A and B are shown apart, each in its own frame.
Chain A
């Protein structure tokens, strides 16, 4: 038998981080998904042990400042997209404001590290969100477009097609058929 599961990686990661940090008695504060504020000085041995333990879960500690910043940009964008109030704000302004860097700097840094512009990443992220909604909810395209702050279904469809090369309808069809074949295989 097979069962389909869906998991929230954020929660998974946070839970793991919390467990591991608690195990080593390290007082901490989790900022979003990608940042941990350690509340006391820890020894190299403790640090090494934490790293090792986390590596087992595929979680790596980034010690490169640029990588950390890129991760923070991503995290901020995610927050923005998930917060209804922030949705309508301009990404560039919000990022500059939040991270306290000039947008040009952030933008260059981001492109250099991820091969993608921040704008592209925002779109990618939004489309990914749209995909999630299409896959997991019964929302109509109109509702999804509204929720993701698109001006129209056509706008969403256009952007979706641009990013994935597929129309939303085709995408949904494929996902449905995938599930169908999976269930068939399971049986």
Chain B
């Protein structure tokens, strides 16, 4: 990161989204752009692509990854487990972004290290609000000395 603290006062939040659905990626992008928090979004179309991206040398790791569960090649759960077993990616927060609202999925992902579980809403403004809340809280965890071990958020 910056060797010198930025004078602008606000850091840019690096966000990644892994989702195989093009429409969803589009919605997400539009929603995140609608939010006042300054972000840099990387879009990835499946799990494998995400893992490859994270393993790029000299990469600026995202602060927050939105992860769809139901993806071809490598699904969200696999990605989650891989990320959580990689010490290098310890600081990355993971938000599950899925249509599934099964309690089982929710609990399993939390147990395996997800920080946020966000159901894909069926309404754009809801999506925007949800993303905004996730970013806000994530921001707090990044900046306010909160215990990241206990960072669980269900939306």
Is B155 located at the chain interface by the 8 A CB criterion? yes
Q: Across the interface, do B145 and A9 meet the contact criterion of CB distance under 8 Å?
A: yes
Q: Across the interface, do B150 and A114 meet the contact criterion of CB distance under 8 Å?
A: no
Given known A115-B135, A165-B155, contact A121–B140 (CB-CB < 8 A): yes
Closest chain B CB from A171 CB (angstroms): 6
Is A86 located at the chain interface by the 8 A CB criterion? no
Given known A164-B153, A174-B152, A181-B111, contact A113–B9 (CB-CB < 8 A): yes
Task: Flag B5-16 by CB within 8 Å of A: 1 or 0 each.
Answer: 101011000000
A52 to B143, CA, bound (A): 20
Q: Across the interface, do B5 and A171 meet the contact criterion of CB distance under 8 Å?
A: no
Residues of A within 8 A of B26 (CB): none
The one of A116, A166, A170 that contacts B136, using a Cβ cutoff of 8 Å: A116
Q: Across the interface, do A115 and B36 meet the contact criterion of CB distance under 8 Å?
A: yes
Residues of A within 8 A of B86 (CB): none
Instruction: Output the nearest chain B residue to A173 by Cβ-Cβ distance.
Output: B107
Q: Across the interface, do B150 and A64 meet the contact criterion of CB distance under 8 Å?
A: no
Given known A132-B150, A174-B111, contact A116–B140 (CB-CB < 8 A): yes
Q: Across the interface, do A178 and B153 meet the contact criterion of CB distance under 8 Å?
A: no
Given known A60-B5, A64-B7, A132-B147, contact A181–B112 (CB-CB < 8 A): yes
Q: Across the interface, do B136 and A55 meet the contact criterion of CB distance under 8 Å?
A: no
Most buried by B among A121, A163, A174: A174
Is A67 located at the chain interface by the 8 A CB criterion? yes
List 9 A-B pairs, minimum CB-CB distance, nearest first.
Answer: A165-B154, A131-B150, A177-B111, A174-B110, A60-B5, A115-B136, A128-B146, A166-B154, A64-B9
